């Protein structure tokens, strides 16, 4: 069977046919359920998975506007990391240092949880828990890396969680230009994101969930969600729409959709990988301000992405925004600059998608007990792992299970709403531009960028 969604990402394009499958039937009736979930990405599917794990007879219905895994879950960089977008200091300010550590340790455990569930449920997401290397390639970046490791020590994390590798030790793992050293954390697994989300959809259905595709929700009220052709009455409703949240009526200013874009190379031969390294499929980045992220895929490609695309006025989302030639060209230039051995390598795929950014860059998960409406999201590009913690937590909240998860500091966190336009457009794009130009400014001046530090504080990063 040909794959009608191959254009969405290299991941979709390389899915085995049994994971593409036929589309699921849309909702065409008025039905009842115990829990209605809007969106069949990781957040919605993990929530359904854990609900049914704990309460196998529950009636769980997912309504998906397109097809399961259509959103960021089928297009991302495949870092199943323990990253959280708000800094420990910020989390500690709203709770305590111990609570910030407790959240971080829950995120460490989440990486293993995803690896374990995939193995247990037979989801072949080509997972390798090789950790992450964040390279320092200038003296300023090295200072930043050492500061980060020292900061981790001040929170009680030892070298098993975050460690500094000097230039020789880093070069043992990866052969990258200008490598002065790297921060290594073992808490990340490289995954094939579309295999994970499509496999999870099948597993969730086997557990009893019903997924309706091509069923965009157009109205949410307590106890009821509606689509053009049907509705679901349910005491609990979960909003799992992340980067698309602004398109729902009443949620325009909750999460700003920001685009992340990616490119992938053709598969490289073994001799080339022998030169490059990344033998454990460590995910990699460096300490530049403009976020970049890469992984060595199971089929021997580089999948490499970064920010740099603009925020679109009015939180608009359109398929054509997934592609930005200037950003693609820059990503290809940066990857070749890191690994000159790629000078003659072809790039076979270019794609992108929206992710959800809360005004304070602080992800949240919550259940409003008076309305029965719940959500998890605002992961700012760290959702592959965090969505599992979000789904597990939502299941506990809905089932009223008293667990360690339901008191973590991100539970019930309320982010301020984004400004109305045009201020949202001006603010978001100014921030993106400052980060994009800060690296060049640092290179020229040899000094850390004060503007980037200011915006970093502003976003809480």
Select from 170, 309, 355, 357 the one that contacts ligand FAD (CB under 6 A): 355
Cross-strand pairs, 283: 132
We find the least distance from the C-beta atom of residue 419 to ligand FAD, in angstroms, to be 23
What is the per-residue binding string for ligand FAD in 254-273, x denoting contact by CB under 6 A?
A: ------x-x-----------
Contacts of 201 (CB under 8 A, 6+ apart): 40, 45, 68, 69, 211
End-to-end CA separation in angstroms for the chain: 44
Q: Does 240 bind ligand FAD (CB under 6 A)?
A: yes
Where do the H-state alpha helices sit in 39-190? 42-54, 88-94, 97-121, 139-154, 167-173
- The answer to whether residue 338 forms part of the interface with ligand FAD (CB under 6 A) is no
Selected range binding ligand FAD among 115-123, 162-170, 171-179, 240-248, rule: CB under 6 A: 240-248
Identify which range of 99-107, 112-120, 244-252, 403-411 contacts ligand FAD by CB under 6 A: 244-252
d(CA 351, CA 321): 9
Is residue 49 near ligand FAD by the rule CB under 6 A? no
Binding of ligand FAD by 382 (CB under 6 A): yes
Instruction: For the CB of residue 284, give the shortest distance to ligand FAD in the complex, in Å.
Output: 11
Closer of 181 and 257 to ligand FAD (Cβ): 257
List the one residue from 131, 383, 409, 460 that touches ligand FAD (CB under 6 A).
383
From CA 9, how far away is CA 409, in angstroms rounded? 34
Q: Are 345 and 253 in contact (CB under 8 A)?
A: no
Among 216, 230, 372, 427, indicate the residue that binds ligand FAD (CB under 6 A): 216
Rounded CA-CA distance 322/30 in Å is 34
Q: How many CA atoms lie within 13 A of 171 on its CB side?
A: 8
Q: Taking CB under 6 A as the rule, does residue 75 contact ligand FAD?
A: yes
Burial of 422 (0-12, 13-18, 19+ CB in 10 A): exposed
- Work out how close the CB of 318 gets to ligand FAD at its nearest, in angstroms, rounded to a whole number: 13
Question: Residue 10: which residues within 8 A CB-CB, separation 6 or more?
Answer: 262, 264, 301, 303, 348, 349, 351
Contacting positions for ligand FAD (CB under 6 A): 38-44, 63-66, 70-73, 75-79, 81, 216-217, 240-244, 247-248, 260, 262, 293, 305, 352-353, 355, 377, 379, 381-385, 387
């Amino acid at each position: 069977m040909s794959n009608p969604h191959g254009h969405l990402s290299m991941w979709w394009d390389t899915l085995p046919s049994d994971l593409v499958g036929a589309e699921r039937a849309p909702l065409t009736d008025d039905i009842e359920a115990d829990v209605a979930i809007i969106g069949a990405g990781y957040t919605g599917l993990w929530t359904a998975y854990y609900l049914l794990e704990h309460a196998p007879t529950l009636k769980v219905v997912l309504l998906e506007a397109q097809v399961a895994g259509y959103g960021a879950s089928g297009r991302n960089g495949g870092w199943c990391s323990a990253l959280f977008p708000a800094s420990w200091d910020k989390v500690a300010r709203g709770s305590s240092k111990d609570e910030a550590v407790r959240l971080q340790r829950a995120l460490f455990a989440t990486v293993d949880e995803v690896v374990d569930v995939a193995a247990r449920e037979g989801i072949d997401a080509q997972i390798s828990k090789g950790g992450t290397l964040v390279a320092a390639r200038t003296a300023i970046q090295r200072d930043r890396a050492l500061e980060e490791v020292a900061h981790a020590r001040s929170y009680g994390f030892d070298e098993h969680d975050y460690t500094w590798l000097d230039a020789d030790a880093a070069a043992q793992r990866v052969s990258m230009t200008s490598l002065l050293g790297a921060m290594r954390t073992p808490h990340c697994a490289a995954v094939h994101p579309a295999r994970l989300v499509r496999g999870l959809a099948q597993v969730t259905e086997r557990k009893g969930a019903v997924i309706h595709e091509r069923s965009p929700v157009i109205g949410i009220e307590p106890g009821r969600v509606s689509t053009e052709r049907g509705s679901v009455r349910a005491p609990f409703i979960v909003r799992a729409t992340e980067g698309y949240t602004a398109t729902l009526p009443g949620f325009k200013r909750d999460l700003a959709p920001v685009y992340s874009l990616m490119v992938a190379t053709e598969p490289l031969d073994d001799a080339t990988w022998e030169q490059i390294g990344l033998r454990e499929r460590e995910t990699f980045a460096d300490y530049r301000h403009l976020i970049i992220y890469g992984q060595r895929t199971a089929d021997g490609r580089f999948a490499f992405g970064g920010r740099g695309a603009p925020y679109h006025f009015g939180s608009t989302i359109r398929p054509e925004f997934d592609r930005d030639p200037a950003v693609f060209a820059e990503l290809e230039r940066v990857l070749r600059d890191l690994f000159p051995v790629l000078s003659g390598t072809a790039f076979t795929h270019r794609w992108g998608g929206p992710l959800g950014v809360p005004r304070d860059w602080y992800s949240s998960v919550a259940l409003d007990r008076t309305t029965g409406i719940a959500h998890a999201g605002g992961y700012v590009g760290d959702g592959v792992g965090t969505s599992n913690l979000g789904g597990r937590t939502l299941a506990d909240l809905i089932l009223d299970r008293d667990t360690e998860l339901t008191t973590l500091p991100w539970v019930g966190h309320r982010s301020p709403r984004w400004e109305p336009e045009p201020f949202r457009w001006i603010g978001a794009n100014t921030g993106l531009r400052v980060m994009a130009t800060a690296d060049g400014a640092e290179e020229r001046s040899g000094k850390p960028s004060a503007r980037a530090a200011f915006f970093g504080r502003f976003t809480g990063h």
